[in-house]
Structure 1
Amino acid sequence: MITASVIRALAASLPAGVRERYREEWLADAAAAPEAGLSPWSVVGGAFGVALRIDREDPAVSGLPAGRLAYRRTRIALAGAATVLLLLLASFWWSAWTELDGRGELGLAGIAWLGRLILGAAAIVGVVALVSLVGAVRALARARSWRVGVVGLVGAAVALGVLVALAIAAFIPAFGLLLVLPALFVPVILLTIGDPRPQGPALRVGARFGIALASAGAVLAIVTGSLLHVFVWNPLARMPGMTLDEIYAGLAAAGELPSPVIAYLYAGFWALFALVLLVVALVPPRGIRHLLTARRLAGIGVLGVALAAAGEWFLGFGMGMGMADAFATSGADAAVSGLVITLVGIAAAIAAALVGLLPSRRIPATGEMQEIPTASRP
């Protein structure tokens, strides 16, 4: 029944505190409407009006104290801001802005429509982030807390940081990303200190180790792919017709053979990261055992993948310059593996932002709400 599906969708848009009650009432009213000589769509119209006008900041409606609701909405806004930036970087690589190939000679300009599709997704996420930030300020205004000013300043800092980063990212994406990170870290720290969110249950050692093993494996896979791309696949793609031995002999003869120190440091750091992650998951210190939830372990894994993929640019810089000078060619990527690593890194960074910043879907029960101190009123 179409009306029932629409009613369920409208009920799903309501805050958790009243969602189930309204859904049952509306479905019952729609089922009984024909007996009263009414169209079920009249119930849908009334439900739409309720969903539009309901006071979503009311603790009885949201199921949360106003302060907690503001924290949840601010986290959604921050996750959205980070996702928008990363999607815009992805669309830049995919030629959405300039009609030029963002990765050198890989022929992506012909499918710039995909970059524009990513750009459209960024616009949608940006609207969600803005609405969430406005909702956070409204919730804190309801709580009449001093944190209203803090959230306002945080929101302004995030907005300014994102705008500056996006302007620079159009020309130098790596620096744009570095600029926006401080704008995100400060509010995240504030939220972590002040947000008494319910934590997930502690994991058993087998589950912890399994998630850590998958995370470590993903990080080592992207590290291995980056090393192969920089030192094997890209040189062969850049100099077709030459063997790898001939390429390295040419680099050595021209004095452009890159130092292996950066490669050793890159591989060694991420190998140590994977080892520490596995050891901590297997034998965690007592003080942090309760923090090792599935979400945190998975978040560490995807963040590691994102950072390892970002490190590929620094890893390959010397090799690219050496190839350009020794063979009078471009230092840009010629192998498609470079694009794959870049996009995997951006996707992992988006996943890390969502895992790390989005609030838990669990809404505390009424008894739990009473244990959470609300903001004081003057």
Structure 2
Amino acid sequence: MSAERWIGGAVLLLPGALRPRFREEWLGSLRDAPELGVARAAIVRGAYATALGAPRSPAAFGLTPGELGFRRLRWAAAWFATALVLLNGGWLIPGEALPGTFAGLVSIGLGGLAVVALVFGAIAASVGLRTLLPVPRPLVAWLLAIGIAVAGASVLAVVLALFALSFALMLGLVAGLGVAAVALAWPIARDPALRRTTPGIPARLGTRLSALLAALTLTAALVVAVLHLLVWNPMAKVPGLELGAIYAELEARGEMPAAGVGFALVWAASWLPLVLLFLAVAVVGPRGILRNLDERRVARTALTGLAFLGFGVFVAGFSLGMSLADAFMISGGDAALSGALLTAVATVAGIAACLRIIPHTTAPAEAPAA
């Protein structure tokens, strides 16, 4: 990687208000390095040392204390959500399809990453609260902030532990409709100066192509999910029987497979509005009722949709899975590798959505590089 790209990384570590000046200085130093007899690597090292030691005050970010505090709280929420995604992945990915030792390593690894995300969230929450608390003595303010952050995170963990399954069963069935509604209705800043985060690849593809790729990706995931729920997983859980024989046996034992199949199909149908929404953007672009769906919103909505879809497979297959378990005296977990694959995709998409879902909405626009 070139020295200019390394400098770009150092610039991203700086508070927003300091970036234009230091970018210009560092790139100028790289250009003049041969004449000055200075190694370009030394300039890069100095840039990172400066970036990591830069002040993190509200003035350095070009924000008021309230704006900076709430931004840090938003990042705390993002890290806490990331921890929840990782915990879900560590619980659902192993299933019965992965070898025992490997499944254990996956669970332990993702659980460890979840702990790291929780720590980052607690740090961000403590720093944000410290910025907002009008306490004159720094030590008292820090102790209050840390206490509030840890207590809040603990209460949230207890609530999620007590109600996670019931919330999943209630909300998972209509998650696709919810994602589509939020994508359409959530307010969006029109001024590019207020939406500084870089949309990356979607910006190079354009809104309409990004929307088409999002529709195709969600459709593919939905097809795989339905096949997993109704075909691959039942056959993997009851090897040696044809699919028709499995459903006939369920019927004969009074397990009513039609109810489980219907539940899965209703869940799948709830995702079709989001797919159609993306297709509409691909055809006409972000206009009219679709005005909020620019390439940034499309990309983030697609990531969020993939996460909810992948984790929702557990909800959609709950009824049929329990019928299989009761009829054949087996466990209710996923036995097909497709379930682990869908959950792994959901975990990666969920992490990406959590850590990129909230743009820096209050920072001024950066000056272009010299």
Within 5 A, what are the aligned runs for 1:136-155? 136-140=128-132
Alpha-carbon deviations, 1:10-40, whole Å to 9, x = none?
66533232345457768969979x99xxxx9
**Cα 1:57–1:44 shift into 2, 3 Å:** same
CA 1:19–1:177 in 2, change beyond 3 Å: closer, same or farther? farther
Give the residue type in structure 1 aligned to 2:305. G
Distance 1:314 1:4 in 2: 48
CA offsets, 1:282-332, max 9 Å, x none? 447855554222111112222222222233223222222222233233332
1:119 to 111, 115, 118: 111
Match of 1:185 in 2: none
SS of residue matched to 1:79? helix
TM-score normalised to structure 2 length: 0.69
Contact 1:281 1:292 survives alignment (8 Å) = no
Tell me if the contact between 1:165 and 1:175 (Cα under 8 Å) persists in the aligned partners. Answer: no
Instruction: Tell me the percent identity.
Output: 32
Work out whether residues 6 and 44 of structure 1, in 8 Å CA contact, stay in contact via their aligned partners in 2: no
More moved, 127-136 vs 209-218: 127-136
Which structure 2 residues correspond to residues 1-378 of structure 1 after superposition, within 5 A?
A: 13-19=13-19, 21-22=21-22, 48=49, 54-59=54-59, 61-93=60-92, 103-104=95-96, 106-110=98-102, 112-140=104-132, 159-165=153-159, 168=161, 174=165, 198-199=194-195, 207-258=206-257, 259=259, 260-279=261-280, 282-283=283-284, 288-359=289-360, 363-365=364-366
Report the alpha carbon displacement of residue 165 of structure 1 after superposing the two structures with TM. 4.9
**Distance in structure 2 (CA, Å) of the matches to 1:208 and 1:5:** 26
- Is residue 85–residue 162 contact of structure 1 (8 Å, CA) maintained in 2? no
Tell me if structure 1 keeps the 8 A contact 2:95–2:334.
yes
Gaps (5+ residues) in structure 1? Answer: 95-101, 182-187, 367-378
Question: By how many angstroms is 1:67 displaced?
Answer: 3.7
Alignment partners' CA distance in 2, 1:338 and 1:198: 40
Tell me, in whole angstroms, the C-alpha distance in 1 between the residues paired with 2:255 and 2:118: 45
Provide the C-alpha distance between the structure 1 equivalents of 2:147 and 2:280, rounded to a whole number of angstroms: 40
Following superposition, the deviation at residue 83 of structure 1 comes to 0.5
Which residue is equivalent to 1:97? none
- Residues 183-202 of structure 1, C-alpha deviations (whole Å, 9 max, x = no match): xxxxx9xxx88999714799
Q: 1:228, CA displacement in angstroms? A: 0.9
Separation in structure 2 between the aligned mates of residue 287 and residue 10 of structure 1, nearest angstrom: 40
Instruction: Give me the whole-angstrom Cα distance separating, in 2, the residues matched to 1:349 and 1:225.
Output: 18
Q: How big is the shift at 1:230?
A: 1.6
- Farther-moved stretch of structure 1 (306-315 vs 121-130): 121-130
**Whole-Å Cα distance in 1 between the matches of residues 4 and 209 of structure 2?**
42
Q: CA RMSD in A?
A: 4.9
| Cα drift, residue 86 of structure 1 | 1.4
Classify 1:262/1:115 alpha carbon distance in 2 versus 1 (closer, same or farther; 3 Å).
Answer: closer
Which is further off, 353-362 or 114-123? 353-362
Q: Which amino acid aligns with 2:310?
A: A
- Please, which moves more after superposition, 332-341 or 124-133? 124-133
- 8 Å CA contact retained: 2:95, 2:333: yes
Structure showing greater Rg: 1
Q: 1:87 to 1:56 in 2, by over 3 A?
A: same
- Deviation at 1:56? 1.6
Number of residue equivalences: 333
Write the deviation string for residues 209-248 of structure 1: whole angstroms up to 9, x where unpaired: 3222222222222221121112111121112221112222
Where does residue 179 of structure 2 map in the other structure? none
Structure with larger RCO (C-alpha < 8 A, sep 6+): 2
Task: Label 1:51 to 1:307 Cα distance change in 2 as closer, same or farther (>3 A).
Answer: closer
Residue ranges of structure 2 left out of the alignment (5+ in a row): 173-181
From the superposition, tell whether residues 331 and 156 of structure 1 become closer, same or farther in structure 2 (CA, over 3 Å).
closer
Q: Is the 8 A contact 2:10 2:47 kept in 1?
A: no
Report the AA paired with residue 302 of structure 1.
L
TM-score (norm 1): 0.68
- With over 3 angstroms needed to count, the CA separation of the structure-2 counterparts of 1:16 and 1:225, relative to structure 1, is same
CA 1:362–1:247 in 2, change beyond 3 Å: closer, same or farther?
same
2-structure distance, mates of 1:320, 1:116: 25
SS of residue paired to 2:317: helix
Q: Which amino acid aligns with 1:312?
A: V
In the aligned structure 1, how far is the partner of 2:289 from the partner of 2:18?
A: 36
More divergent stretch after superposition (337-346 vs 278-287): 278-287
Retained in 1: the 8 A contact 2:16–2:363?
A: no
